[in-house]
Structure 1
Amino acid sequence: MQIKIIQEPDEDHLIIRPFEQGSEPGNQEMFKAEKGEMWWYSSRELWLGLGKEPKLPGITKIFRSLFFKRKDRWPTDITLDARGKTAEWVGNAVNGIILGGYNLQLYKTEPKPLSDFFRSGTLFVVGNGHAEVSVAAEAAQKTALVQSRIMDLMNAPANYKKPETLAEWAKKSGEANGYSVQILEKTQLEAQAMHALLAVSKGSAEPPVMIVSEYKPEHYTKTVALVGKGVTFDTGGISIKPAANMHLMKSDMGGAAAVLGTVELAAQLKLPVRIVGVIPSTENAVDGVGMKPGDVIGSYAGKTIEVIDTDAEGRLILADGLHYALKQFQPDVLIDLATLTGSVIQTLGYEAAGLFTPSDNLAADLIKAGDETGERLWRLPVWDEYKEEINSDIADVKNYHGKPLAGAIVAAKFLEVFTAAHPAWAHLDIAGTAFGDTEFAPGRAGTAYGIRLLISYLSKLT
């Protein structure tokens, strides 16, 4: 799809005119401009209701829903009348329009048709401030295309998505977008004493990897390390999960997906921030040689860990990833993302991810970015009173407290042990937001959560 900014609408194209409630044209009793409402004013003019005082993330959802519902029926050329709208508004609308054409039918032999508009059509945008609107539209298009690639990755099943697959994705992206990628294979992980990652991988025939990406602009003042959990399938190991929803555990690499997408998009947008992406990746499978409850394992940080539950594996591989990022890159800011606990879903549902950080400033910046993008965060405590929950009698720390309370908080306290008390560390538990029920898929699907959030945060970091 091409995007062109124009000064006046072309009457030969289908024109979409958005209206907020209270600003809709008079003498149209059938059109109230309610959120998502459509009214065909003529065969060439579609009115779209935005509701009352819509926020920018809502604009994205409204346009995505509109274009998704009719994704096989759009003409090749469409004009969006955005006169009087800000460049930021246009960016959100364009992002939603492109995402409306996302095709989830990854492996169908006879996929449903998609209109030519999404493949080879043109979106004409009538807007004020030609240069600003053009920049916003271009950034929104790049963002949506990266989000779509990440949703493909999230939605792929485990037989199409192994640790090696994530590594190849990163290498190809680095080559295409001008950033460096290093893959630490199993022998290198052994040489570097990545014992926690290696322990989780023991039950799988697929070898683990550590993906290390680095986007380094010519001029920067800050280095941000992003660490993502990359468990490409999670059976729970010996502490095996129930069978009912285990097939959804193809999504347990949502943190890795967010990091991959953020690094790629940051490179495309040429953000003036050095960004390091560290992704420990493995399967967590069941095998006679696999890690067992009660085992004591080592870690890259040199600390010993008593494994109480092999299904609390994400925090184990993140322990090695966090400390590697700290030791090798000395970042100013350290952020990890992981589909880590069911506890955070019980707490926040599917509307927000859990945010854990000792830094009030970092919390405020991330929450603001979440509110701006609609990828919301809610801060939960990391008070030292929770430390006793990870005390072990025989090791430095244990990976699970075994209690039906404060599960997400205790997981964060475990990760904190491996951050060397970094003052600007944040943990994002995205278990409820990275993969879930949406109107855009018949079943649960990937959302690419975290990419817009992090890009918004990073773009303001100086």
Structure 2
Amino acid sequence: MSTITLRRSKSSATQPLAILLPASDEAGKGLPAPLAKALKGIPVGAKDTRTVVDAAGRITVIVGIAEQAGTAALRLAAVRTVKAMRDLGVSDFSFDLTALPAGGDDEATGRALAEGLTIATFDSKPFAGAASAAKPTAAFKVSLDPRFHAGFKTGLLLGQAVNTSRTLAATPPNIATPEWMTVRAREIAKTHGMAFRVIGAAEAKKLQMGGLLAVGAGSAIPPRLAVMEWNPSGKKTAPVLLVGKTMTYDSGGLSIKPDGGKGMKADKAGGCTMLATMEALALLKVKTRVVCILAIAENMIDSACYRLDDVITHANGVTSEITNTDAEGRLVLADALAWGTKTYKPSAVIDAATLTGGVLVALGRTITGVFSNNDDLVKVLEEASQQADERVWRLPLDESLRDQMRASVADLHNSSPYRFSHAGTGAAYLSFFVGEDAPKAMPTTPWLHLDVAGTAVSDGDHDWQGLYPKGPTGWGVRTLAALLAGWGK
């Protein structure tokens, strides 16, 4: 993964330039005369990138953007800039932003550009071997007007955390085992002075975490919860609780996946987002007390693996009949939610999971499905997501969906026989585990469930207009960091 350094010195007369040019007749008039002459008769539309080399050999890359470009367009423009500079063999350049409309938010502009740069410099082929071409440029140095520096530095830190999530999610299951994920979480916690503990299989059994234990029973590596706490003030205020589904691999169990599970290394993406969010909070020195629980397991097929018709008991005493071993994420999340809300009595709970294919069918690759019991919390999330340009859409959650999850031989079944509203019934299952009142009624603890099954992975440029290549996106890190930075304000 490349590193990006913000240069403090002014750009030199020979340093390559990247000019962001709004697609309007007026914007081009502000270009230096030699550039304007070189581009005469050559259109620069909102999606165009042009390269000009002057008589002295100075390289200028002109990146067209929309006339009233917001932060999403600026982020994407930074990605296009990196691609163009890499093609030219340039690793040290300066941004010229004088053509941007006056009166913009300098902090937001700088942040968006830095986020785009870090997203673009992610190594999308981290396991390249001897047969691959040379790796991309190892480092970039960037200059820009000092008024953008504060936002740019924030964006670099956020981008670093996003790329942490992407790296973790992209790591294959022969490397990213439950133990490996635990070690990565411990390293991040230690680096940033966070409290850290692991609830292993033996302790989970004492705590009656039947979902976690059942899902991990077929793996040679036991399941566990990794628990970390960020509390820079040391005050014992009620924390925000983050919970992440961290399935290092999902074969589907005995309900084996038709394709054998290709791509299921990313089934840990919800947990990767939560872990990287914790890193972002520390890098940005956010004051909010936050506890994060990663529900880590591997769903494999073995003589000891759990079966259809099994009945398990969760940490809050709720029983569940197994009707689909491929509906495993909700089982590990249920125990983490039940134990976490009882132990920490949080002010709010947010979980993230690649939970259902249903949300992908409903909303596609660029919008995350949100389920919640609290209108105010949804509003806070929507405001944070707008700042991050990560779209969310609230889907319904009510007692009719909870009723669909009730079983005849146990309290619940883990997969509804009614396939309609698949994403909704998955969320409804989780609603039985958020706080002590949840088994009998919709929970009162403010709670957000983020189903990132669509947004956690990009299929290519058609999904995000080129922001992400094919692979993990780290969706949610920037949104949750914004939400938690403003918590209580």
Same fold per superposition (TM over 0.5): yes
Structure 1 residues 400 and 357: CA distance shift in structure 2, 3 A? same
Contact 1:75 1:115 in 2 (8 A): no
Aligned to 1:452: 478
Aligned to 1:94: 114
Q: Does 1:25 align with 2:28?
A: yes
Separation in structure 1 between the aligned mates of residue 249 and residue 458 of structure 2, nearest angstrom: 16
TM-score using structure 1 length:
0.93
Secondary structure of the residue aligned to 1:57 is: helix
Structure 1 residues 359 and 160: CA distance shift in structure 2, 3 A? same
Contact 1:151 1:446 in 2 (8 A): yes
Q: Does 1:217 align with 2:232?
A: yes
Secondary structure of the residue aligned to 1:283 is: strand
Aligned to 1:123: 142
Secondary structure of the residue aligned to 1:17 is: strand
- CA apart distance, 1:426: 0.6
Give per-residue Cα distances to partners, 1:29-51, cap 9 Å, x unaligned. 31334135334264432211112
Contact 2:110 2:149 in 1 (8 A): no
- CA apart distance, 1:98: 2.3
Aligned to 1:408: 423
Contact 2:248 2:265 in 1 (8 A): yes
Q: Does 1:45 align with 2:71?
A: no
Separation in structure 1 between the aligned mates of residue 116 and residue 468 of structure 2, nearest angstrom: 19
Structure 2 stretches lacking a partner, 5+ long: 30-35, 436-442
- Choose from 16, 19, 23 the match for 1:14: 16
Structure 1 residues 127 and 438: CA distance shift in structure 2, 3 A? farther
- Choose from 107, 111, 135 the match for 2:127: 107
Give per-residue Cα distances to partners, 1:109-143, cap 9 Å, x unaligned. 13433554x42x42111243xxxx32211111112
Aligned to 1:428: 450
Contact 2:312 2:320 in 1 (8 A): yes
Separation in structure 2 between the aligned mates of residue 290 and residue 385 of structure 1, nearest angstrom: 32
- CA apart distance, 1:224: 0.8
Contact 2:85 2:91 in 1 (8 A): no
Structure 1 residues 69 and 75: CA distance shift in structure 2, 3 A? closer
Separation in structure 1 between the aligned mates of residue 7 and residue 297 of structure 2, nearest angstrom: 43
Supply the RMSD in Å over aligned alpha carbons. 2.0
Q: What is the identity percentage for the equivalent residue pairs of Structure 1 and Structure 2?
A: 26
Secondary structure of the residue aligned to 2:263 is: helix
Secondary structure of the residue aligned to 1:105 is: coil
- CA apart distance, 1:349: 0.8
Aligned to 2:314: 299
Letter in 1 for 2:449: H
Q: Does 1:54 align with 2:73?
A: no
Aligned to 1:2: 5
- CA apart distance, 1:72: 5.4
- CA apart distance, 1:108: 1.4
- Choose from 321, 324, 348 the match for 2:339: 324
The size of the alignment, in residue pairs, is 454
Letter in 2 for 1:109: G
Give per-residue Cα distances to partners, 1:313-334, cap 9 Å, x unaligned. 0000000011121011111110
Structure 1 residues 226 and 147: CA distance shift in structure 2, 3 A? same
Contact 1:352 1:376 in 2 (8 A): yes
Structure 1 stretches lacking a partner, 5+ long: none
Aligned to 1:236: 252
Separation in structure 1 between the aligned mates of residue 48 and residue 398 of structure 2, nearest angstrom: 43
Deviates further, 259-268 or 222-231: 222-231
- CA apart distance, 1:230: 0.6
Deviates further, 422-431 or 72-81: 72-81
- CA apart distance, 1:17: 1.2
Structure 1 residues 290 and 173: CA distance shift in structure 2, 3 A? same
- Choose from 459, 470, 475 the match for 1:437: 459
Give per-residue Cα distances to partners, 1:421-450, cap 9 Å, x unaligned. 133101000000001212379984111111
Q: Does 1:201 align with 2:204?
A: no
Letter in 1 for 2:206: A
Separation in structure 1 between the aligned mates of residue 386 and residue 315 of structure 2, nearest angstrom: 35
Q: Does 1:181 align with 2:184?
A: no
Deviates further, 63-72 or 227-236: 63-72
Separation in structure 1 between the aligned mates of residue 22 and residue 8 of structure 2, nearest angstrom: 22
Deviates further, 437-446 or 416-425: 437-446
Contact 1:74 1:115 in 2 (8 A): no
- CA apart distance, 1:352: 0.4
